[in-house]
Structure 1
Amino acid sequence: MNHCTVLYFELRNKYRLKPAAAITAAATLIINGNPPGGSWVTRNYCNKSWNCNKFKPMRKGTPLIIILTMIFFGCEPLVTTFDDIEEAVLYKAKNISGEGVVPQNSKIEVMAWNIRFAIGRLPFFGDSCGKRTIFTEDEVMDALDLIAAKVNELDPDIILFQEIDRESKRSAYIDQVQWLLDHTDLNYGAYASMWQAQVIPSDGIGGIDAGNAILSKWEIESAERIQLPLRGDQDALTLLFYLRRNVLKAKIAIPGQDDFYAVNTHSTAFATDDTKQKHIDTFYETLQDIDENGYVFISGGDLNSIPPGADSTDFCMEDMCSAESFHTDADGGPHREGSYFNNFVNEPMLLEPLYNAYTPAIPHQDAVTSSHMTHSTDGSAQWDRKLDYIFTNLSVVENSGHTHQNTLMLSDHAPVTATVVLP
């Protein structure tokens, strides 16, 4: 008798639930991520957190759907949740080359790039007024080929990738971390999921595993996933199936360096409360902890924040889709989620502590100029805001920071690179 059956019969016998109500209660406990396991579950969840007698049979036909779901998914939670800190997934390229090479002149090239799960500028429903959720293998492979070509052209030693997929339905079930390792000169990788589910029931997304990755020419000795706070402006059901963002921290064995770390993050884009503040604070505190211990780091990612002093905090009209309407209220609202950067007190200055404490790839006075914009939602337009960054507690070679804006059709984010001087 498996643990699903044990749970079902305990709910039936101990709580005297009717069969359909017991199925509903069991499925609710399981889907919400509570670990199945008979009396342990009902003792901890029915007695303390749940009133299991409140469950009534759902409408006709629903119990059958739930039973089939439990069978097909082995009674495992549909959505993967994470501990506050846990080990990241480590990768290795099929063919290793040059991993023991000492960095030339004690300098390394670093890149940060949100690759939009390798769909280029195809019209995804979530961010570009598109309607598609699923993309073909040919479409994804074409985009991966272009991304790999750009990586090989720029030849970074370490890459911080965001929005990279592993075996997701929407991107033809390709493990993009492994594929990029095998088609570039990078040798090792670490991955931390921000969105992992056996099935996302809305919009046909299906199974998904998307997140952040660090790729390196040198071995990654260890890596950990640091959980970021969940959004505070969503209902419980939406939150259950929504993104669980993270900070990915990896220790890299660069020859001659004892304690070198790479830190990658992708903070919230669409929260309308102060969730983004909490994400940036956690990122900053992670860097601060490394720095105060006397270690060195390179860090960055898609921070979904504009640089302090940016000309505009409002891109609602630039991003507006044909059926949408914004700025119609007396107070200037409503605003488009993800396009407005003044949702809470001091949001436009959110990155000021990072600029004050560490060295950016792109100096602040340059970061607000058009030549260093890194994002736009419209592939036919030009880059119109900066959201992507690299910071380090080391020195950056003067004028080595670049924003590669000739990648407009490769992603909705431009890669940023810089040359960092090792101690």
Structure 2
Amino acid sequence: MKRVLKIILIFLIVVLVFGAGFILALQLTEFRPEETTSLEILNNVDDSNENYFELDSTIKILTFNIGYASLSETEDFVMDGGEKGRMDTQQEVQDNLDGIASILQRESPDIYLLQEVDEDSSRSYNINQYEYFQNILGTASVLAYNYRCIFVPFPLSLSQMMGKVNSGIATFSDYYSDEASRIQLPGSFSWPLRLANLKRCILISRYQIEGTTNELVVINVHLSAYDDGSMRQEETSALQEIMLNEYEAGNYVVVGGDFNQTFPDAVDITYDSATETYSYDYLYSLRNESIWVAPPIDGDWFIENDFQFGIDTTYPTCRLLDHPYDKVDDSNNQYYLIDGFIVSANITIDHVETLRENFVHSDHNPVVMEFILNS
């Protein structure tokens, strides 16, 4: 009996020592970005008028959360009520990358905004996705990390653990950008969860405009998803301040990406004064509200400060990953409208469209917008 107890005690000590050592390793290697980081623009084009944007001309932009090429129609995801954290094979990831690349090449926008782009991550079989898109698109590019961890021990299944993660948001364009920066957003998870969690940011790219000293400021965003909503509010407030400052400085502002919040026109909000509570009627009805809900974005603030929403309500931009995409019974799928654009009043939105890619290669559909910089 004493021998058994001794073995159990030794086992518990080993587990505790290993656990403490692992947390210490995460602590020592934690990704701690500065509030503002100047980023390297790779393969930038020449600083000349021919590579500047023009006033009163149509510009095309695309945003696409590619889900690290691992959240396609066959997949579920543990944080959405599923079980998985990675695809079963490297070839499946590569097939998704090739499919995503074909969409980008087909649309051929002037600016590409991509989210969840992996670079040497175990969860996507260490494929350098950022380099892959550089080679495919052949444009100038910049990457802002928002997720770096030596090992993410989640999900708990050994075959599904995400492991090492290096990931971020990336902007690509054929036009000259004189500056790109990563801005750290406020808010974080409590310790120790924050050690293996995302550090949300925005990626700001500045483009010259022929005939004016004002700039086109393009902001790539991917806001928090799995908080209680308070972090998203903090992040949105910080984003609003930056947008307003840029607009008041005379610049043209375009924000695009995955906001993880429902856009206006995709939700009706009702306030009950008797109970002092709000109720929400989503355009895409929630089959299961207990798993994941995308709360409404603060539409009033944007409208009051002369910003416009560039969204397409005719088709959802994201699906819930509690199970693989059901192509037979659509009522089993849960949808959201959380991807799109917000632009300043000195810009005319000409066209916005959610591409109907049917979530084949990602849990998101890309959104394209055509717009004009008003003279």
SS of the counterpart of 2:203? strand
> Which protein is bigger by CA-based radius of gyration?
1
Q: Displacement, 1:145?
A: 1.0
CA distance in 1, matches of 2:52, 2:14: 67
Matched with 2:167 is: 210
Partner deviation per Cα, 1:299-342 (whole Å, 9 max, x = no partner)? 1111111123515557999565xxxxx7xxxxxxxx33x3252x
Paired residue total: 331
Partner of 1:242: 197
The corresponding residue for 1:80 is 31
Partner of 1:3: none
Root-mean-square deviation over aligned CA pairs: 3.3
After TM superposition, where is structure 1 displaced by more than 6 Å over at least 4 residues in a row?
64-70, 314-317
Q: What SS class does the counterpart of residue 265 from structure 1 fall into?
A: strand
> Do the aligned partners of 1:123 and 1:129 also contact (CA within 8 Å) in 2?
no
Q: CA deviation at 1:226?
A: 1.0
1:353 and 2:296 matched? no
After superposition, the C-alpha distances for 1:323-364 in whole angstroms (9 at most, x for unaligned) are: xxx7xxxxxxxx33x3252xxxxxx352332244213223xx
CA–CA distance in structure 2, aligned partners of residues 243 and 188 of structure 1: 26
Question: Which structure has the higher relative contact order (CA within 8 Å, separation 6+)?
Answer: 2
The answer to whether the 8 Å contact 2:316/2:337 transfers is: yes
Query: AA paired with 1:116?
Result: G
Assess, with a 3 A threshold, how the Cα gap between structure 1 residues 352 and 162 changes in structure 2: closer, same or farther.
Answer: farther
Counterpart of 2:259 in structure 1 is: 303
* 2:259 equivalent to 1:291: no
Cα 1:148–1:355 change in 2 (3 A) is farther
CA contact (8 A) 1:197 1:208 kept: yes
- Contact residue 190 and residue 220 of structure 1 kept, 8 A: no
Task: Give, as a single letter, the amino acid of the residue that structure 2 aligns with 1:267.
Answer: L
Identity of aligned residues (%): 21
What is the Cα deviation at residue 103 of structure 1?
5.4
Preserved contact between residue 260 and residue 294 of structure 2 (Cα < 8 Å): no
Answer yes or no: is 1:180 the counterpart of 2:133: yes
Provide the rounded CA distance (Å) in 2 between the counterparts of 1:227 and 1:246. 4
Cα deviation, 1:66-122, whole Å, max 9, x if unaligned, reads: 77999xx8x9933211111112353338x99x9945658622101111111112234
1:166: how far off? Answer: 1.2
Aligned AA (1:218) = Y
1:391 to 1:314, Cα distance in 2 relative to 1, 3 A: closer
Determine if the alignment matches structure 1 residue 141 to structure 2 residue 94: yes
C-alpha spacing 1:107/1:256, structure 2 compared with 1 (3 Å): farther
Change beyond 3 A, Cα 1:80–1:349: closer
CA spacing shift, 1:269–1:207, aligned 2, 3 Å: same
Q: What is the DSSP-based 3-state SS (H/G/I as helix, E as strand, rest coil) of the residue aligned with 2:28?
A: coil
Instruction: Name the structure 2 match of 1:339.
Output: 293
Residues 64 and 118 from structure 1, CA distance in 2 versus in 1: closer, same or farther, beyond 3 angstroms? closer
In the TM superposition, residue 406 of structure 1 has moved relative to its aligned partner by: 2.9
Equivalent pair of 2:355/2:367 in contact (CA under 8 Å): yes
How far residue 295 of structure 1 moved from its aligned partner, in angstroms, is 1.4
Q: Distance in 1 between matches of 2:343 and 2:142?
A: 19
One-letter code of the match for 2:151? V
Question: 2-side partners of 1:267 and 1:418: how far apart?
Answer: 20
Partner of 1:278: 234
Contact between 2:67 and 2:117, CA under 8 Å: does it hold in 1? yes
Distance 1:102 1:172 in 2: 38
Partner of 2:348: 396
Distance 1:274 1:260, change over 3 A: same
1:229 counterpart = 2:203: no
Whether the 8 Å CA contact 2:113–2:171 is kept in 1: the answer is yes
- Please state how far the C-alpha of 1:175 moved relative to its aligned partner: 2.0
Match of 1:114 in 2: 65
Asked if structure 2 preserves the Cα contact closer than 8 Å seen for 1:396 and 1:418, the reply is no
Whole-Å separation in 2 of the counterparts to 1:351 and 1:88: 31
Indicate how the Cα distance of structure 1 residues 316 and 384 shifts in structure 2: closer, same or farther if over 3 A, else same. Answer: closer
What's the offset of the Cα at 1:158? 0.5
User: In structure 2, what is the equivalent of residue 131 of structure 1?
Assistant: 83
In 1, Cα distance between the equivalents of 2:212 and 2:142? 19
Q: Which residue of 2 aligns with 1:159?
A: 112
- Provide the rounded CA distance (Å) in 2 between the counterparts of 1:164 and 1:262: 18
CA contact 1:91–1:178 (8 Å) conserved in 2: no
Q: CA, structure 1 residues 260+210, in 2 after alignment: closer, same or farther (shift >3 Å)? A: same
Residue in structure 2 matched with residue 198 of structure 1 by the alignment = 150
How far apart in 2 are the matches of 1:68 and 1:82?
21
* C-alpha distance 175-92 of structure 1, shift in aligned 2 (>3 A): farther
Aligned to 2:122: 169
Shift of 1:396: 2.9
1:164/1:176 contact within 8 Å kept:
yes
Scaled by the length of structure 1, the TM-score of the pair is 0.69
Q: Following the alignment from structure 1 to structure 2, what is the Cα–Cα distance between the partners of residues 66 and 355?
A: 50
1:118-154 Cα distance to aligned partner (Å, 9 max, x none)? 1223424334543332333211111111111111111
Describe the shift of the 1:295–1:165 C-alpha distance in structure 2 as closer, same or farther (beyond 3 A): same
Preserved contact between residue 66 and residue 363 of structure 2 (Cα < 8 Å): yes
TM-score if structure 2 supplies the norm length? 0.77
Rounded Cα–Cα distance in structure 2 between residues aligned with 1:68 and 1:126: 22
Q: If each structure's strand is expressed as a fraction of its own residues, which one has the higher value? A: 2
Report the counterpart of residue 376 of structure 1 in structure 2.
319
Q: Distance in 2 between matches of 1:392 and 1:82?
A: 27
Quickly say closer, same or farther: Cα 1:386–1:254, change in 2 above 3 A: same
> Who is 1:219 aligned against?
176
Deviation at 1:221, TM superposition (A): 2.1
Q: Is the 8 A contact 2:85 2:154 kept in 1?
A: no
